[in-house]
Chain A
Amino acid sequence: MNQNPLLRVNNIEVVYEHVILVLKGVSLEVPEGGLVALLGANGAGKSTTLKAISNLLRAERGEVTKGVIEFMGNRIDRKDAAEVVRRGIVQVMEGRRKFEHLTVEDDLLTGAYSRRDTHLVKKDLDLVYSYFPRLAERRNVKTGYISGGEQQMVVIGRALMARPKLMLLDEPSMGLAPLLVQEIFDIVVRLNREEKVAILLAEQNAAMALQVARYGYIMENGRLVLDGDADTLRDNEDVREFYLGLTEIGKKSYRNVKHYKRRKRWLT
């Protein structure tokens, strides 16, 4: 979609524990300043894709065994996680991985660990508080004691403190009430527009993700099966039926991937 994308994942294969093949030839791109969704059911391989990019994979005994990942024209698939962060990619892992015994403010500040421009950190802390005023109120409370929505804000704010060019957001909607999900997605869109942070958003909540993303990929069983502009995807019949639960017959959950695949085979 772009001559020189910010991120280019080219035909990667990921293996856990030397034997478990999870990603099979995944290719995707995120343009400069883009907001791209990576959709798929539980277990499809979304988190694995994000961890391959951030190289958190190694900490889980996983490895990119084939293919290339390029960020701003340079290969990063052999770099360690701290180096990837220094180059401008931060992953917000799924499950709100706050540092529960740190205060909100200390937790946010850990995000700035790898920065050299330490004199700007204070300013960015204020910036985070301006996006998440609720965190400012709770700055001295341990993150283990704040609400789930606030914890999600902490981990996104913490990632912002690293001043990334690309944020990998893994299921920010998971386990949160719809209103809160809306609030957080609104802020994600603002970060993308106002702070020019490109975002790769992994979500099961396709309806929500396709509302904010401009482009989307759909993943099944470690493979990308469909991609396109968000509008196109929203109008696609299969996506409507299996990922958005919109069909004449009634609501269907995207857990029925097997059924979906059967039908696809039958169609081709």
Chain B
Amino acid sequence: MIFAIEVAIGGLLVGVMYSLVALGFVLIYKSSGVFNFAQGDMTLLAALALVGFLTIFPLWLAILAALVLMIALAIAIEAIVLRPLVARPPLALFMATIGLGFFLQGIGQGIWGTDPKGLDIGISDIPFKIKGLLISQFDLAGGALAGGLVFALVWFFQKSRTGRALRAVSDDHEAALSVGIPLRRAWAISWAIAGLVALVAGIMWGSRLGVQFSLSLIALKALPILILGGIDSIPGAIIAGLVVGASENLAEVFLGPYVGGGIQTFFPYLLALVVLWFKPYGMFGREIIERV
């Protein structure tokens, strides 16, 4: 039983980091109405940049520099990709993010190389005991950081004036424009936040798995979470991330041996499929409000 709890807690901590990646998608979807295919590549770029900056700066300055880079990137994306596509069909925007993804990948690997790199942010991976439970120190730190960021983002969106404006933009961007909300700034802000999320995810996952091309594939982890939670729900992304993290870990440990392991990679999709059957908008996806 203790072992099961340890497995579940380990899964939950990893799940928080999944939530974070999924949140990156949700934020962009809510504000620009587009599924941002480049989110994984933004994560890779952020991690690559951080590793690069670490060779010249101390840790805090390197993180700051990477953050500045992600914000500059957000402003550039707004000006170069989003602005010319105003009032075009959403599919055009989606295609543009695919192009953007390849572009970012190319830039990142062009500057910092394609060889796998380690990223050490100084948190050791020695497990420690709380009340008889073995818990990974690293996962705990990651979970706490991701959890703190998630909490801050939720507060920002629900309570701040800018957050309210971003929610308005996501409901009806022309109406938002009509009350004086500057769309360009709103888009730049939400992409900058997605950049911040990408950076934090890049730090956590990069120091876990190493920084290399495959880091951009953590976006695939986000897909079942988005299906489960609904692509436009912040609480949905959080809870679905936790559910996926815990359940895949439990499945791997307890069901894995019977089927030869490797359940972790497809279990979340299975779960998502089952949920879709019953809740087509995801567990928390916002319903399309239709009134006559």
Interface residues of A (CB under 8 A from B): 54, 56, 59-61, 80-82, 84-86, 90-93, 97-102, 106-107, 109-111, 113-114, 142, 144-145, 148, 155, 158-159, 161-162
Contact of B175 among A85, A99, A145 (CB under 8 A): A99
Minimum CB–CB distance from A105 to chain B (whole Å) comes to: 10
A99→B174 contact, CB < 8 A = no
CA–CA, A86 and B168, complex, Å: 18
Q: A59-B87, A86-B180, A97-B178 are in contact. List 4 more A-B contacts (CB 8 A).
A: A59-B174, A93-B174, A97-B172, A113-B181
Q: Select from chain B the residue with minimum beta-carbon distance to A114.
A: B180
Interface residues of B (CB under 8 A from A): 86-87, 161, 164-165, 167-168, 170-183, 286, 289, 291
A110→B181 contact, CB < 8 A = yes
Contact of A82 among B164, B174, B180, B289 (CB under 8 A): B180
Residues of B within 8 A of A145 (CB): 289, 291
CA–CA, A100 and B172, complex, Å: 9
Q: Select from chain A the residue with minimum beta-carbon distance to B290.
A: A144
Minimum CB–CB distance from B78 to chain A (whole Å) comes to: 14
Minimum CB–CB distance from A57 to chain B (whole Å) comes to: 11
B178→A101 contact, CB < 8 A = no
A113→B179 contact, CB < 8 A = yes
A102→B180 contact, CB < 8 A = no
CA–CA, A100 and B171, complex, Å: 7
Residues of B within 8 A of A91 (CB): 178
B179→A110 contact, CB < 8 A = yes
CA–CA, A165 and B36, complex, Å: 40
A102→B167 contact, CB < 8 A = yes
CA–CA, A84 and B174, complex, Å: 14
B172→A99 contact, CB < 8 A = yes
Contact A162-B180, Cβ < 8 Å, known A59-B87, A60-B87, A101-B289: yes
Q: Select from chain A the residue with minimum beta-carbon distance to B171.
A: A99
B176→A110 contact, CB < 8 A = yes
B168→A99 contact, CB < 8 A = yes
11 examples of A-B residue contacts, CB within 8 angstroms: A59-B183, A85-B178, A90-B178, A91-B178, A100-B289, A102-B167, A106-B167, A113-B180, A113-B181, A114-B179, A145-B291
A59→B289 contact, CB < 8 A = no
CA–CA, A244 and B183, complex, Å: 40
Contact A101-B167, Cβ < 8 Å, known A56-B174, A142-B289, A145-B291: yes
